[in-house]
Amino acid sequence: MRGAVIHAPGDIRFETLDDPKITHSTDAIIRTAVTCVCGSDLWPYRGVEPTAEPHPMGHEYVGFVEEVGPEVTAVKPGQFVVGSFATSDNTCANCRNGFQSNCVNREFMSTCQAEYVRIPNAQGTLVATDGVPGEEFWPGLLAVSDVMGTGWWAAEAAEVRPGSTAVVVGDGAVGLCAMIAAKERGAERIIAMSRHEPRQKLARELGATDIVAERGEQGVARIKELTGGIGADSVLECVGTPEAMSQALRSARPGGSVGFVGVPHDVAVDGQELFFSHVGMRGGPAPVRRYLPDLIDRVLTGAIEPGKVFDLVLPLEQVAEAYKAMDERRAVKALLKP
Ligand SMILES: [Zn+2]
Ligand SMILES: [Zn+2]
């Protein structure tokens, strides 16, 4: 089979790789229906995360089950499945508590930009749809495997409630999905922090009621102006930089909450500032598996359309161009078709 391999920053190649095989009795092999490039794939692409040796890439997927290990009974060959970027047995204590992305047997997916993928912990990880959904739903279901699930988690972690005010920091795919989530969870006012005009337009389409283009001090001042001088009930941090985290913390009102789902890079939180702010914080990799049945249903009924975050569609063999387009901000998120 063929798939994407990173060799060095900026160097993604589409190569012939060994076909994945069942190596554990709990594995499944899927044939990729569609996959994509994630904002977090840009960290190694930009050299922010080191690439010690060439390795496959990708953690977002939907596909058709090809083969299952002897312990996998929940899905069977031929079914269309959606899974999380973090695999889980769905039976350990952490899974039962709803934090499947901290499963004691967790393995992160990392080989999904390929024609076939081995899914560890397939029994607990994969959810099959009723029949094969129409191709028009595949982008939305693909988004559920990470960015939509992550946006949902941002809203849950930031305690978005009906009637509340939510600020979303970040207008990438996760930020846009966080706006969808905030709307679905009943936020009355959704303030998108975005400086890019095409993304502002999409943000409004997905649920944002206000746009704040300012950043830093001015950004905080604008949020306060819009929230009676005190800050927002909920802030959904979807970037992972020190600037974004600081923006998020200072945009929440006393007693408000920050949900941070951008993988932090060089982020340090000032203990004194946090202490005196009365702001609650929760973050981490999204427990996507917990949300899968609900989010799959919302996509298939048309309640949400997270597939709209894909503004570039390429054949899988052009994966290098997909990275380049996202790196150069010519695309929000690139979908890849094997
Ligand atoms: Zn991702
Ligand atoms: Zn578990």
pLDDT tens digits, 73-103: 999 999 999 999 999 999 999 999 999 999 9
Q: Which two tokens stand for residue 132?
A: 């094969």
CA of 87 to the centre of ligand 2 (A): 9
CA of 66 to the centre of ligand 2 (A): 24
Q: Which two tokens stand for residue 223?
A: 């949020």
- CA torsion sign for 35, 37, 43, 44 is positive
Question: In this structure, are residues 182 and 170 in contact, taking their beta carbons and an 8 Å threshold?
Answer: no
Q: How far is CA 307 from CA 62, 153, 259, 269, in A?
A: 13, 18, 23, 33
Residues 6+ positions from 161 with CB-CB distance below 8 Å? 185, 186, 187, 233, 234
Domain ranges in the chain?
2-146+287-337, 148-283
- Across the chain, mean pLDDT equals 97
Q: What distance in Å separates the CA atoms of residue 233 and residue 253, rounded to the nearest whole number?
A: 6
Q: What is the pLDDT of residue 14?
A: 98
Residue numbers of the chain with a pLDDT score lower than 50: none
CA of 148 to the centre of ligand 1 (A): 10
Q: What is the pLDDT of residue 44?
A: 96
Ligand with the closest atom to the CA of 105: 2
Question: In this structure, are residues 216 and 208 in contact, taking their beta carbons and an 8 Å threshold?
Answer: no
Q: What is the pLDDT of residue 21?
A: 98
Q: What is the pLDDT of residue 90?
A: 97
Ligand with the closest atom to the CA of 120: 2
Q: 2-146+287-337 belongs to which homologous superfamily?
A: Medium-chain alcohol dehydrogenases, catalytic domain (3.90.180.10)
CA of 331 to the centre of ligand 1 (A): 15
Q: Name the residue with tokens 């970037």.
A: 239
Ligand with the closest atom to the CA of 238: 1
Number of CB atoms found within 10 A of residue 218's CB: 11
Ligand with the closest atom to the CA of 145: 1
Give the SS3 label for residue 147: helix
CA of 44 to the centre of ligand 1 (A): 13
Question: Of 186, 185, 176, nearest to 211 (Cα)?
Answer: 176
CA of 36 to the centre of ligand 1 (A): 9
CA of 91 to the centre of ligand 2 (A): 5
Residue 56 backbone dihedrals phi, psi, to 5 degrees: -65, 165
Question: Of 56, 68, 59, nearest to 30 (Cα)?
Answer: 68
- The CATH class given to the 148-283 domain equals alpha beta
**Pairing between β-strand 232-237 and β-strand 165-169 as defined by DSSP bridges:** parallel
Ligand with the closest atom to the CA of 125: 2
CA of 105 to the centre of ligand 2 (A): 6
Residues 6+ positions from 109 with CB-CB distance below 8 Å? 58, 59, 60, 61, 83, 84, 85, 86, 87, 117, 119
Question: Of 260, 233, 238, nearest to 309 (Cα)?
Answer: 238
CA of 40 to the centre of ligand 1 (A): 6
CA of 97 to the centre of ligand 2 (A): 9
Q: What is the pLDDT of residue 122?
A: 98
Number of CB atoms found within 10 A of residue 221's CB: 13
CA of 277 to the centre of ligand 1 (A): 31
CA of 226 to the centre of ligand 2 (A): 42
Q: What is the pLDDT of residue 33?
A: 98
